[in-house]
Amino acid sequence: MIEEITNQLSILGHPQRISVFRMLMRRFPDTVPAGELAEELGIKASTLSNYLNALQRSGLVKQERSGTSLLYSIEMNNVQQMLDFLIVDCCRGRPDICMPFSKGTETMTDRKFNVLFLCVGNSARSIFAESLLRSLGSDRFNVYSAGTQPSSELNPFAVQVLSDKGHDTSVLRSKHMSEFAEPGAPEMDFVFTVCNQAANEECPAWEGQPISGHWGMPDPVKAEGTDAEKSLAFQNAYGALKRRIEAFTSLPVESLDRIALQSAVDEIGRKSIEDTK
């Protein structure tokens, strides 16, 4: 056990290898193409291959093939084993040392929960998610959305879809995520990224350690073709997010502990990925 853990820590002790590991952790439970990792991290393909091979040998990352592409993801059981060794074995689980890790068995309190949806532009996907959760769970959730690089205005196709579905679009605006990291901003209980680029980017360490989830999906703003074809892309994005939001609102948030909630949130993201295959 100790030899395995020390090898894993040694592998992670390299600045670029841990950068690869961090990005895959942010994208969990996604599988990420090697080419995307290389592009986002600015690492040559041959060098990245060496890093990924080392992470695979350590058991922290796994590989699968889809056609001609190699896809990578976190081997979460082994990562949890490594963290358990450090926190439970080495630190003996002491709350004065291991906090905030000891929050894992606490249940959420019986109150309205603050939820933030993030994407890059905050003009379509995160706006859809905000509107859907406000519609389906306003009695239990306070809902917000923001962008890492927000647009100056909402996408007109997105606004049209929301209007057609009966949502109030007058309360929506595109805004930067920094608004929610300022003093006096609401403390988030859940933070979801709904696009891959937002998950890849550096985000603030949110106060209160919210449960995070990655529900990445294609950007309808990038759809090409006729207006009808573009509109269909936005309709499909809305429908995909609605299924995720419905699954989320069905969770007994008040009675689940943080570990169970995190697992449930990850499972919603995992099923979303499987539904698109």
Residue 109 sits in a domain whose CATH number is 3.40.50.2300
- Tell me the pTM: 0.71
Same domain? 164 vs 32 = no
| Domain end call among 67, 94, 121 | 94
Judgement on whether residues 240 and 166 belong to the same structural domain of the protein:
yes
What is the SS3 assignment for the chain? Answer: CHHHHHHHHHHHCCHHHHHHHHHHHHHCCCCEEHHHHHHHHCCCHHHHHHHHHHHHHCCCEEEEEECCEEEEEECHHHHHHHHHHHHHHHCCCCHHHHCCHHHHHCECCCCCEEEEEEECCCCCHHHHHHHHHHHHHCCCEEEEEEECCCCCCCCHHHHHHHHHCCCCCCCCCCCEHHHHCCCCCCCCCEEEECCHHHHHCCCCCCCCCCEEEECCCCCHHHCCCCHHHHHHHHHHHHHHHHHHHHHHHCCCCCCCEHHHHHHHHHHHHHHHHHHCC
**Residues 83 and 127 occupy one common structural domain:** no
The domain total for the chain is 2
165: Cβ contacts below 8 Å, ≥ 6 apart:
238
Q: Are residues 52 and 165 in the same domain?
A: no
Which one of 64, 94, 124 terminates a domain?
A: 94
pLDDT of residue 64: 93
Which residue, 32, 66, 94, sits at the end of a domain?
94
Alpha-carbon distance 251 to 145, whole Å? 21
The Cα–Cα gap between 90 and 54 comes to 25
Query: With 0-12 CB in 10 A as exposed, 13-18 as middle and 19+ as buried, what is 249?
Result: middle
Q: What is the CATH number of the domain that holds 17?
A: 1.10.10.10
Cis peptide before 186 (omega within 30 of 0): no
Whether residues 65 and 120 fall in one domain: no
Q: In one letter, which amino acid is 9? A: L
Per the structure, the complete domain to which residue 15 belongs is given by 2-94
For 93, phi then psi, to 5°, come to 65, 20
What pLDDT is stored for residue 203 in this prediction? 63
Mean pLDDT for each consecutive 10-residue tract of the chain (277 residues)? 90 94 89 91 94 95 91 93 81 59 55 92 95 95 94 93 95 93 90 82 70 89 93 95 96 87 89 53
